[in-house]
Amino acid sequence: MTVRFSVLTVSDRSARGEREDLAGPALVKQVEVAGHGIVHTAMVADEAADISRILTLWCDSGKTDVILTTGGTGFAPRDVTPEATAAVIQRPAPGIAEAARAFSLKLTPHAMLSRNAAGIRGRTLIINLPGSPKASREILDYLLPVLPHAVELLKDDPRAEQGHGKIGV
């Protein structure tokens, strides 16, 4: 199954042109190499209202299955991506955020400082990833095998029942 992804980079410095966005393009490439499609990409400053507006627009368009955000998940005062995500989701998906943190904790103790969230709006899954290109790629690599099944479930696809317990099949 081909999953339709959108990628939103959240970064004050990148939005101002002070730093190149490395994480967003790396995620786009990773998604494409995995055989999935990219619907939207954008960059936004760490402003909760702007982040929420874009997430809502993309979810409600019906054109994307999974939105990946990168950045704004840490402890800095302007890191508001989880709050912006919480404002738009209708159902939380805590297992995804917990799995991402548990996986990352095997690689670095700094993972405990991540406040990433995940949730569902309509039939779109939103997943917050860190702003670090390396960390976001590692986590996405870990999550990618389960995302087609998650999308099948969100779409109420009859094939979803066949996939229980068969990751990567």
Q: What is the tens place of the pLDDT at every residue in 34-81?
A: 999 999 999 999 999 999 999 999 999 999 999 999 999 999 999 999
Residue 160 inside a domain? The answer is: no
Residue 169 inside a domain? The answer is: no
Which pLDDT score, from 0 to 100, does residue 163 have?
Answer: 56
Query: Would you give the DSSP letter of residue 120?
Result: E
Instruction: Give tens-digit pLDDT for 19-35.
Output: 999 999 999 999 999 99
Residue of 87, 79, 29, 114 whose CA lies nearest to 7: 29
Instruction: Give tens-digit pLDDT for 97-110.
Output: 999 999 999 999 99
* Domain count for the chain: 1
Residue 85 has pLDDT above 90, yes or no: yes
Residue 97 inside a domain? The answer is: yes
Pairing mode of beta strands 124-129, 91-92: unpaired
Q: Using CA atoms, how far apart are residues 4 and 127, in angstroms rounded to an integer?
A: 14
* Tokens encoding 105: 């904790």
The CATH code of the domain that includes 32 is 3.40.980.10
Parent domain of 26? 4-153
Strand order in the sheet with 37-44: 37-44, 4-10, 66-70, 124-129, 118-121, 91-92
Share of the chain above pLDDT 70, in %: 96
Cα 73 to chain centroid distance, Å, stands at 11
Residue 135 inside a domain? The answer is: yes
State pTM to two decimals.
0.94
CB 84 within 8 A of CB 48: yes
CB 92 within 8 A of CB 118: yes
Q: Using CA atoms, how far apart are residues 128 and 79, in angstroms rounded to an integer?
A: 12
Residue 158 inside a domain? The answer is: no
Residue of 14, 18, 39, 19 whose CA lies nearest to 28: 39
Residue 167 inside a domain? The answer is: no
When pLDDT is averaged across residues 150-169 and rounded to a whole number, the result is 78
CB 31 within 8 A of CB 7: yes
Pairing mode of beta strands 91-92, 118-121: antiparallel
Q: For tokens 């095998």, what's the residue?
A: 145
